[in-house]
Structure 1
Amino acid sequence: MAPDTLVLRDVHVPPAPSWWPPAPGWWLLAGVVVLVLLGIVAWRWHRRRRLQRWQRWFDAVPQGRAPAEQVAAASDLLRRAARRVSPGADRLEGEAWLRFLDGEQGRAFSEGPGRLLLDGGYRRTVEASELEAALAVARARFLELMAATR
């Protein structure tokens, strides 16, 4: 070899980039995923709290009072919830009101224990079992109507 010639050496490849720390795009993606998950958790928590508030609201129907007062209070709450779903629904009367309350689920009001809402607020006596069945059906429908809005 001549003293003036350059010695060629092999190309040096730099080491592969490490997986940590990730590139800024991955940090941004992770932040977006965390925000979406937090939003979902907050939304579900809010829905659960709303449902619990509505349950407490209905369960505050005057317990221990006359059955006629309990039926009237439950009917009043159902009318308020109906007004939120369909303006003017709270002014329905008789069978039209019961058909509205039936909705698409069945006939719990027009043919079942919910019929007590028609005249139960005006009766002198109402059987305890009949009252419990009517309040259970009314509570379920109240929660459905409240959940159908907002």
Structure 2
Amino acid sequence: MADTDPGSLDRLHDIAVPPPVSWWPLAPGWYVIAGVALVLLGVSVWAAVDRWRRNRYRRDALRELDLIEHRAQVSTAVIEMAELLKRTALAAFPRERVASLTGAAWLGFLDATGGTGAFTSGDGRLLGDAIYQRAEPGTAPDVPKLVAVVRHWITHHRC
């Protein structure tokens, strides 16, 4: 009679659990997400390579500036840095905008594109007319400060 008792615990059975859901094959939404992620990865790699190529002139200019700094011939360092700045500007900006600039206009251009005031009112003033004047005996330009100003412009100017 115990078998006919509906409240008996002997009649309980385990719950039938379905098999776990497989992660493969993926749902269609995951394929869309993977495709979008692949496209974004490709675009970001392309942009990074393009930016690296476009900034080659900066790396070359900084390498040459290091050579000028290590040579440390004060008499020619200012002239070499002025030439380096002009060549770097010609590589980055249209020739019509840069080639004819001299003196205060050139220094103003360097300040405007470099986001600084170091050329018109700072250590970079030496580059304005110093390349056209003879250095007076006993007056040596502060080359390390000038190198720092030039390095900052090469690194941070915006086209």
Q: TM-score normalized by structure 1?
A: 0.66
What is the CA RMSD across the aligned residues, in angstroms?
3.3
Aligned residue for 1:99?
Answer: 108
CA distance in 2, matches of 1:81, 1:52: 10
- Say whether 1:37 aligns with 2:41: yes
Q: Go from structure 1 to structure 2 and tell me whether the alpha carbon gap of 1:132 and 1:35 turns closer, same or farther (over 3 Å shift).
A: same
Aligned-partner residue type, residue 107 of structure 1:
G
Q: Which runs of 5+ in 2 are unaligned?
A: 1-18
Aligned-partner residue type, residue 79 of structure 1:
K
Residues 49-128 of structure 1: pairs in structure 2 closer than 5 A: 50=55, 52-61=59-68, 63-83=70-90, 84-86=92-94, 87-103=96-112, 105-121=115-131, 122-124=133-135, 127=140
What is the deviation of 1:94? 1.3
Sequence identity (%): 33
CA distance in 1, matches of 2:149, 2:127: 11
CA distance in 2, matches of 1:68, 1:117: 13
CA distance in 2, matches of 1:47, 1:54: 16
- Greater share of helix residues, 1 or 2? 2
Q: Go from structure 1 to structure 2 and tell me whether the alpha carbon gap of 1:53 and 1:31 turns closer, same or farther (over 3 Å shift).
A: farther
Aligned-partner residue type, residue 127 of structure 1:
A
- Say whether 1:144 aligns with 2:156: yes
CA contact (8 A) 2:69 2:144 kept: no
Q: Go from structure 1 to structure 2 and tell me whether the alpha carbon gap of 1:39 and 1:52 turns closer, same or farther (over 3 Å shift).
A: farther
Q: TM-score normalized by structure 2?
A: 0.63
The superposition leaves residues 4-62 of structure 1 with CA deviations (integer Å, 9 ceiling, x where unpaired) of xxxxxxxxxxx996443213552243133034124324534664573544432432336
Aligned-partner residue type, residue 150 of structure 2:
A
How many equivalent residue pairs?
133
